[in-house]
Structure 1
Amino acid sequence: MKQLENKVAIVTGGASGIGKAIVKLFVQEGAKVVIGDLNEEAGRDLAAKMGKETMFVKVNAALPEDNERLVIDTLAHFGRLDIAVNNAGIGGASALVGEYGIEDWKKVIDINLNGVFYGMHYQIPAMLKHGKGSIVNMASILGQVGFANSSAYVAAKHGVVGLTKSAGWEYGTKGIRVNAVGPGFIETPLLSDMDAEVKKYLESQHALQRLGKPEEVAEIVLWLASDKASFATGGYYPIEGGYLAK
């Protein structure tokens, strides 16, 4: 039997990068998947390729009403919600704290932190209806350490880890597990504009001396989403090629 047979999952930011790899693996493992993303063309194209058990909903993760609609549409189409992966995120502007634009700060926090809260706020009641669920929030290695010129991203990802711990504790006796994954630097569209010198430096900061692959992150998300991780909640799971081992 496949690991997610007959499960219904939401994946935000599911049209590209890590989210896309998660969608593909979830479908492969038997899940019905709802892809939430702002990129309508990429989202619809992926849903079409994945088949009839996959659907796309255009979502801006920074808007509470979009997160609510995503859950409503999921329940209307598939009848239940078992798994949610709050993966949507942006890298944001690069600047020192004293020079970081206020609107740039708000944008990163709105998508990377508030978006996770909004997602869980509507996902959890849907899961409580059948007394069981698994939520996986996408944090980062920068949810554990600092990184120059990325204060908003670092603050948001630290917040995701704290939010995950609180929710995991709150719903521990209610059948809903909540965990966070902390990828290192991964080969995704977020890093597509990186010049060769910066990429080489980032590779050198990992013990494995390379960047990660979206498929490698998807595997740990699959485990956390599945019943194999039945004793895992409120945790932070790094998948970072040794970046944090320094």
Structure 2
Amino acid sequence: MTTTSMNTATTNTTSMSTATMTTPSPPNTGTPSTSTPTTVLIVDDQPLLRHSLARIIDAEPDLSVTGHAGDGEEALVAARQLAPDVVLMDIRMPGADGITATRSITTDPALGHTRVLVLTMFDHDEYLTGALRAGAAGFVLKDSRPDQLTDAIRRTRDGEALFAPQVLDRFVDTYLAGPTPRAAAPDVLTPRETETLALVARGLTNKEIADQLTISQKTVKTHIGHLLSKLEARDRAGLVIAAYRFGLAHPTPPP
């Protein structure tokens, strides 16, 4: 894995174990409150990058790194022990990779509230597709600015699927080129829910969807809740897959 410009914070490190845990924060039981920081588990095989990311995240008053892991097996152990709100997951690691770990975390009933945000360079399409199918809530590029990283963690915590435009385009191109059959949108969706689903697939936030449809953000959340239930999707990333399968969204044409 190549370390890129995200590690703007530096850390002087000596010998350190690949998996470390801080004092666990209480598991999340619902919507985060202002007094309870969002807990983050960092998973990456490079210690320096893990600690640089931790410096960036811990600098935010509403975010707290609760543990580190150096591979997929350690990630699953740490996630089950700490029950973090968000797992910041690298994909390519020795041993159990990030896709395997993501699938194990997202299918564990005890970790139903935990969401996985994948760190990627988007240079291998099969990894992106595999991670999304494994239940990743979104992707953030490794050369993102620190403020983009922390915003991505917050949006993931709040249940918003997060796709950098480059990542979404790459995923869509790969997904549509595969054997997945197209299907008509189910009749159980209302016209407004169908509109909302198409906008979710474009990567819009709740506020942006509300502005587009001239409705309140509360109403947007209601529509998304109905979509998750009717389409049996775990999160908004699942809704993105459904939207493309139903033909409600299309790849961005090249410039």
TM-score with structure 1 setting the length: 0.30
Tell me which protein shows more helix as a share of its residues: 1
Bigger Rg, structure 1 or 2: 2
Relative contact order, higher structure (CA 8 A, sep 6+): 1
TM-score with structure 2 setting the length: 0.29
